[in-house]
A and B are shown apart, each in its own frame.
Chain A
């Protein structure tokens, strides 16, 4: 009986096996490469003016609400108009090249286009004011903004991440007085959190309902 397979067959089998491995690996790598997690955390976003929260908040000690004026009243915290920047920068660093787009905007009246850093999908209706009112600190979602030379996203802002707090708000709540404080740490978060949930009338059952965030 002659051999069923010629000697070269073994070579083809090996080639095929290697090809499968290569293809699978390539496929996997392509998948990883192309499908980034939609929300990249801790990656600085380019801006027309390299605005530094580190400098303004950390070094100069400007309060959050000086610029983000509507954070306590509206869903949107507010990005300041150029006129707010000009309260200082009409006097300070007016000749710096990095501020040229700012000055140009001010003189021409054409607004600056900032690149959005934090974003939730269209079907999520996030509201800043209620979070502030219920004792969620800026730092809980935005991270140590006072240490960011260029603003970056500090949290993934995925549904899972949102729910981790909505399910257990006591782990993250702080007294209203310290909401804007970047350095505040609870001595005993567990005790404090439970007390604040009661004090601020936080309805935990309602927090995980679809209608709270989706409309």
Chain B
């Protein structure tokens, strides 16, 4: 028997030797050149397949290595101590618990049953209709509202994370006056004084807020500005594009060309767009032929990964590309076409794309990215007009959001502040001290503002500078209203009284105005008294989550002839310098979600990084500067500098460097403080999304990054299957053409006949956009803990459903494909065969069940799982002490403790509850009665779930598709989770070139 000392010493030596692997471009090129057929890879290091990578994998993968830093004596001591403690703990009875019934029963509430309330959550001002689940008065989970246009039953990641935000113990707990705890009464008195001073015309009063679509709030502002004509309202949305006067109808679009437009993650309508887009990506829908997506983008996006043809171009080259496209479509306006700084064959690509667009008059769509300047949007509008898309795939509506006044911008506010003309600044749920462009010098300007009043969820950077900081009520605690991307209004209703005595923005404004009514509920009712005059109408609107007939009216705009700004037309100012791009972080947005552990730990869809925001650079740039992942560089631009690590992003435009906003928070809370790097330090108000003239400098330092990309590597087997539409039409069963085994695979184990139900899942890789909403919905539903950056680095993230991503082809412009991986629920599950205590067993309905109270933590099951979907509680990850976090948990799911294995259960609590309801009524569970959390949240409807033993269910229908295949079928595990192969729809003239 090898001594434990030896193992530990070995591990220590290995640790010393294990240095992070390096991407070797030469080796990668050689490997790609040698390969025949498609080559899938998951990270650049894997592609180059260096010895270093293999060694690193071997060492990093046994997740124990880093824990064995302790010596043998210490280890035994701890072992003994924990045994002794375990013995003691078993000595007492369970503590006496209490039942506290209501004094007056709550009408409509049955003890122990969840209730759902239709409300709306707001992102950058726009509403996403949701059904919030309340368990005995505690909001625990968010589901989409099927009758809301921006949701259609699904949600994005932020809506899922809103529950954690509500229960965040770091939220602002009290009114603060100059850093000292105060009371609302004291503030109300102070506000009264301020109001008298501001009489008669409100000179010196400035209000700063995010984008506003709320009719109530907007009406209040109107009234306020009428009362105080010299007061000013400023709108500041650091990562948003507030003025929207149109939306897309992707379900009508046959050919889509996107110019840097990542419409699938649009904060206002992304979920809806994903649904509409996926609806047109079905290869065998006779009514709707599969759509085709062309995209030119500077930094890889989710939309880019769905594209059939993709061009990596710098942000500026995309503008040139747009003009070239305009020429081809017969739109003039460009005097001289700026040169394109790329080696790619753009002209041919454009010829094909333009031809495709022209052939589909009225069924095509040109999307311009929100990060492109306004004139590009005008140009896009003209292109769509030319293509006959207005009113068809592009719908123009009257403004949904409150239009900013002429000087209602943040720079105007900053100028007024510097000039000393701002007496009272009221900041409503905004954090300019952190996220204002650096050239405004907002922090210094604040020195000249005598009275800063800040209303916010957190005591953030701005709150710390404020005379008065006021805790804001969370959306799940407040009454209000908001409009969706198409103008449809929703009522926001509270599920719980404000936890920390917060108030809403409209309550604050009412008091500032001296309004007699300053209760949020009354304010909203007053606003809607015409449309919802009586209780019946009001209750109906509350119940459905939308106010009927409130969508904005459509119109046909007059397309103004596009013009090209001088600085773009001039191609001569190009130099060797790079382009710097700013993007909101994929998971924590503009920084307001920085204190949300779920979002911090959700792997960023394209990099699989957690907890950080390195600068994304192209493989070519990495080669030029000899940079590896995690190498720290210094970015220089306009005399400003920022040090941060880099991440090599396959498919990044060669000369573009992307930094993500939202990190480097100083006063976000315990979770978000000090994570990542503050990219706002480089941002200017004039060029919020892209700047030219970036220089980078290697520092020689290295920064540890926590990525989940290398973990769970499946060693190059045929896990993800892709074909083109032509291949599919030639052989619909192309995905299983190489499968060597018949169905079902032969096995030495006895068959498992199912009893009444046989639960199964099918994941359509053609629909999945890889956004990660399933991961976070699962986390919310199943009480999955957050483990922190350090643990993620050790490969211990706990997500039950992960989204793998595979790259194919040239690292400069690879195709990439997401693949969600939950538990496969194998019929012949390798995990079950090795468990010494029967903690993981099969039930009669095809579920592979994990019994936490039996598990002793040998981790044999995880070792034997070929899909690596099991997660182990190496430490006590679940917080069992913070009361607020305990209140968030789903009461239907066990909270696991240290030393216990866990994994996806197909949301067994939902199955069992459906079982109980159906059994009580003496009937079968209907198809669609059990909806798993991942299935419910999916905007693209990629997941179907149900009884695969019944041929008439949706999931059986999906599994009967010729595209259906099992992952690692050759192992004979007979998984109940199967995939539908992805089908691309490339243009025949371009295939092989893009």
Contact = CB atoms under 8 A, between A and B. Distances in A.
Contacts of A83: 102-105
A5 to B, nearest CB: 37
Given A35-B90, A121-B853, A215-B894, A78 B98 contact: no
A116 B250 CA distance: 56
Q: How large is the interface on B (under 10, 10 to 19, 20 to 34, 35 or more residues)?
A: 35 or more
Contacts of A214: 849, 851-853, 894
A178 to B, nearest CB: 18
A123 B852 contact: yes
Contacts of B94: 38, 119, 121
A34 B91 contact: yes
A209 B843 contact: yes
A127 B110 CA distance: 14
B105 A210 contact: no
Nearest to A35: B91
A17 interface: no
Interface string B78-95: 000000000000111110
Contacts of A75: 112-113
A201 B923 CA distance: 10
A74 B113 contact: yes
B497 to A, nearest CB: 14
Contacts of A111: 100-103
Given A115-B98, A123-B852, A212 B103 contact: no
A108 B851 CA distance: 45
Interface string A181-215: 00000000000000000001101011001111011
A119 B97 contact: yes
Nearest to B102: A81
B104 A116 contact: no
A84 B849 CA distance: 41
Contacts of A73: 110, 113
A209 B104 contact: no
Interface in A77-113: 78-84, 105-106, 109-113
A99 B349 CA distance: 85
A210 B848 CA distance: 10
A156 to B, nearest CB: 13
Contact of B104 (A34, A81, A123, A130): A81
Interface string A22-51: 000000000000111010100001000000
Interface of B is mostly: loop
Q: How large is the interface on A (under 10, 10 to 19, 20 to 34, 35 or more residues)?
A: 35 or more
A215 B112 contact: no
A80 B916 contact: no
Interface in B656-704: none
A215 B99 CA distance: 23
A121 B113 CA distance: 19
Contact of A114 (B101, B102, B756): B101
15 contacts: A36-B92, A36-B93, A74-B111, A79-B99, A81-B102, A81-B105, A113-B99, A113-B100, A115-B97, A123-B894, A205-B844, A210-B841, A210-B843, A214-B851, A214-B853
Listed from nearest, the 10 A-B pairs whose CB atoms lie closest are A76-B112, A74-B112, A81-B102, A81-B105, A133-B920, A79-B101, A78-B111, A209-B843, A34-B91, A82-B103
Interface of B: 90-94, 96-105, 110-113, 755-756, 841, 843-845, 847, 849, 851-854, 892-895, 905, 908-909, 912, 916, 919-920, 922
Given A35-B90, A70-B113, A116-B99, 10 more contacts: A34-B91, A34-B92, A69-B110, A74-B111, A79-B99, A83-B102, A84-B105, A203-B756, A209-B849, A215-B905
Interface of A: 34-36, 38, 40, 45, 69-70, 73-76, 78-84, 105-106, 109-116, 119, 121-123, 125, 127, 129-130, 133-134, 200-201, 203, 205-206, 209-212, 214-215
